[in-house]
Structure 1
Amino acid sequence: MSTFTVVTQQHPDRAVITVCGEMDLETCPELAQAASVIALDSKPLYLDLSGVSFMDSSGLNLLLLLHQRLRGEGSRLALTGLQPHVVRLLQVTGTYALFSADIPTVVGADAALTV
């Protein structure tokens, strides 16, 4: 099993949570806790998933719950650093379109899927 880390940062225009390791049933509660206590004040939440080595249905479920919660709070979720296996999971489950509804025009490391 790999080490799982969650690092939160506050910026004037957004909050960022950087995730490293496997997003699964065992580790998702830690990410959910970090997302629940970070102050957004209607700013978007960026999830940097560039360090995610594996994601199962628990990780996908957490993304969907975060999306729904943030929409309800008048905010949005931006996924950054998507690895091919995460993109594939989103495509196979039919959720990629949900997470790519408002893709910014920024290219490169700052590009994000925003919902």
Structure 2
Amino acid sequence: MTGLSIITERHDGFVVVRLAGELDHGNRLPLVRALERLLGDTPRIVVDTSGLRFCDSHGLWTLIACQRRAEARGGGLRLIGVHGPLARLLIVTPAGRPVPTVRGALSGRSLAGSPLTRCSRPAVR
């Protein structure tokens, strides 16, 4: 098992969570705890997955559960940098479709002022 790095960056009205390493059953709990803490303050979260080398179904379900909790609190969770195993999971898993991905670069303006551009299917690298 390889570790998971979680770095958070607070912006005006939202938080960016940058993930690196592997997100799987064995190391998802630190992410669950971090996202729960963030949801208490800011229910608008952007998860940058560009640094993930691996994500299994447990990791996907962790993101889906957080997205549902964020929406219940009037916010949302968006994914950026989706590629590799996570992209494949989102494509083949019907339950993953409600987790929106964001096309293009992250900008505070896109989160604060206008709707996010959603990708219908993440690019698979």
Question: With structure 2 as the length reference, what TM-score do the two structures score?
Answer: 0.75
Say if 1:81 and 1:112, in contact at 8 Å, map to a contact too.
no
Say if 2:64 and 2:96, in contact at 8 Å, map to a contact too.
no
Amino acid in the other structure paired with 1:36: E
Aligned residue for 1:83?
83
- Aligned equivalents of 1:113 and 1:36: distance in 2? 24
Q: Secondary structure at the match of 1:26?
A: helix
By how many angstroms is 1:10 displaced?
Answer: 0.9
- Aligned equivalents of 2:8 and 2:68: distance in 1? 20
Question: With structure 1 as the length reference, what TM-score do the two structures score?
Answer: 0.81
Say if 2:28 and 2:59, in contact at 8 Å, map to a contact too.
yes
Q: Secondary structure at the match of 1:49?
A: strand
Say if 1:15 and 1:45, in contact at 8 Å, map to a contact too.
yes
- Aligned equivalents of 2:70 and 2:80: distance in 1? 16
Aligned residues: 108
By how many angstroms is 1:62 displaced?
Answer: 0.4
Say if 1:79 and 1:112, in contact at 8 Å, map to a contact too.
no
Q: Secondary structure at the match of 1:33?
A: helix
Say if 2:14 and 2:45, in contact at 8 Å, map to a contact too.
yes
By how many angstroms is 1:109 displaced?
Answer: 3.3
Say if 1:18 and 1:48, in contact at 8 Å, map to a contact too.
yes
The unaligned stretches of length 5 or more in structure 1 are none
Identity of aligned residues (%): 28
Aligned residue for 1:64?
64
Aligned residue for 2:4?
4
| Misfit runs of 4+, over 6 Å | none
Greater helix share, structure number: 2
Say if 1:50 and 1:83, in contact at 8 Å, map to a contact too.
yes
The partner residue of 1:109 within 80, 105, 112 is: 105
By how many angstroms is 1:67 displaced?
Answer: 1.2
